[in-house]
Amino acid sequence: MTTSKRLSTLAAIIIGGAGLGTAEAGPLLTGVIEDVNAQTIEMPSLPGAWQRRIEWMAEEGTRVKAGDLVVKLDPGTLIAEEEQARTDLEKRRFTAARGVDELKLQVLDAEQLLAFETSNVALAELDAIIPEETIPRLDFERYQLALSIYQQSRTRAEQELENRRAALRDEQRQAALEIEQAERTYNRIRDALTATEIRADKAGFMIYAENPFTGRKIYPGDTLYAGLKIASVASRDDLQVRLWIHEADFREVEPGQRLEIAADAQGIETFPATISWRSSQAITREEWSDSGYFEAFAKPGVSLPAAIMPGMSVLAVSDLGESP
């Protein structure tokens, strides 16, 4: 018996057991109910480690509210790094402020010196403007020499003030760059530490993801690579059915085909759904078999049983024909 016939026979048995009536059995499809707009929680990429351990997760199936803590990761060395980065930032700010203040005092001294030299020039000018013919020549030459000396001193004071101001500007720029760098380092570590606690963005149900390497559910205590899906927060607002089609049944399932969906959980009535998309590339599921499996999405009908929740495993049989 071919794989397709075996699956069809198994589908007929399950349909009869699940109370799906006498509709014609098609290939048996396995799947899961999911929220199209679910919040996907992935392992963040954090400094210091290329993988991280999950310390705690909200219990699967529990209802959470927006803002609730749903996943807590092992911070590793991030707590110590955050404390060190904060200490380094405070030290850098203190050192920078002290260096800038010292140069400000030097600028203030240079300004006072310039004011003093400017006053000397003003006084010397009063003497230097006395007409030569009204005073002894020696006094006249002495007044002119004094004016020249004070003018030169004022020029040196002006240059010194400009040098001090330039040094202050350079120190302020350098200090700002160093503080900015220290702040970036601190903020990066702080944000990474904050990211070890993941909160819900929406109200819904907590659903654990599946480890793509082992095929089993992800649980607290697992260590995962950055970027891997940890869990999701899903609601019933916009549900779809994700299905997997065995390669032997690929041509028997087409977009537009209507399905009868039965939940694995006992006592839940079935509901119809329509295939909206089907992949054209098979993937392997080593935890299932060596065969290839195609992915498909199905859109449920308008009315869904109240007991249907995201994360539920389902069986689907293409026994209703194409959508009218």
Q: What is the pLDDT of residues 116-160, one digit of tens each?
A: 999 999 999 999 999 999 999 999 999 999 999 999 999 999 999
Question: At residue 277, does pLDDT exceed 90?
Answer: yes
pLDDT at 21: 39
The token pair at 172 is 């302020």
Q: Are 323 and 24 in contact (CB under 8 A)?
A: no
Q: Where in the chain is the domain with CATH 1.10.287?
A: 78-195
Q: Are 259 and 245 in contact (CB under 8 A)?
A: no
DSSP 203: S
Amino acid at 148: S
pLDDT at 4: 36
pLDDT at 50: 86
Indicate the class that CATH gives domain 44-71+197-233. mainly beta
Q: Average per-residue pLDDT in the chain? A: 88
Question: At residue 276, does pLDDT exceed 90?
Answer: yes
Q: Are 221 and 260 in contact (CB under 8 A)?
A: no
pLDDT at 321: 53
The token pair at 8 is 């069809």
Q: What is the DSSP string of 72-115?
A: EE--TTHHHHHHHHHHHHHHHHHHHHHHHHHHHHHHHHHHHHHH
The token pair at 234 is 């899903």
Q: What is the pLDDT of residues 187-231, one digit of tens each?
A: 999 999 999 999 999 999 999 999 988 889 999 999 999 999 999
Question: At residue 306, does pLDDT exceed 90?
Answer: no
CA distance 31 to 243: 4
CA distance 278 to 260: 17
The token pair at 300 is 């449920």
Nearest to 318 by CA among 242, 269, 256, 266: 256
Is CATH 2.40.30.170 the classification given to domain 1-37+235-324?
yes
Backbone angles phi, psi at 46, to 5 degrees: -115, 150
CA distance 323 to 260: 12
The token pair at 81 is 């790094």
The maximal CA–CA distance of the chain, rounded, in angstroms, is 136
pLDDT at 22: 38
Q: Where in the chain is the domain with CATH 2.40.50?
A: 44-71+197-233
Q: What is the pLDDT of residues 16-66, one digit of tens each?
A: 344 443 345 567 899 999 999 999 999 999 988 889 999 999 999 899 999
H or E element, residue 42? strand 39-42
Q: Are 230 and 42 in contact (CB under 8 A)?
A: yes
Categorize the per-residue pLDDT at 255 as very low, low, confident or very high, splitting at 50, 70 and 90: very high
Q: Where in the chain is the domain with CATH 2.40.30.170?
A: 1-37+235-324
The token pair at 258 is 């209507």
Weakest mean pLDDT among 16-25, 81-90, 240-249, 313-322: 16-25
Weakest mean pLDDT among 83-87, 103-107, 201-205, 248-252: 248-252
**SS3 (DSSP) at 222:** coil
4-8, 282-286, 316-320, range with greatest mean pLDDT? 282-286
* Between residues 166 and 304, the one the model is more confident about: 166
**SS3 (DSSP) at 40:** strand
Backbone angles phi, psi at 228, to 5 degrees: -75, 145
pLDDT at 287: 75
The percentage of the chain sitting over the pLDDT mark of 90, rounded to a whole number, equals: 71
Is CATH 1.10.287 the classification given to domain 78-195?
yes
CA distance 233 to 206: 5
Question: At residue 6, does pLDDT exceed 70?
Answer: no
pLDDT at 77: 93
Question: At residue 268, does pLDDT exceed 90?
Answer: no
pLDDT at 27: 79
Q: Is 263 exposed, middle or buried (0-12, 13-18, 19+ CB in 10 A)?
A: buried
The token pair at 17 is 């057991």
Q: Which residues of 196-230 are buried (b: 16+ CB within 10 A; e: fewer)?
A: bebebebebbbbbbebeeeeeebeeebebeeeebb
Determine the Cα angle at 251 with ends 249 and 257, to 5°.
95
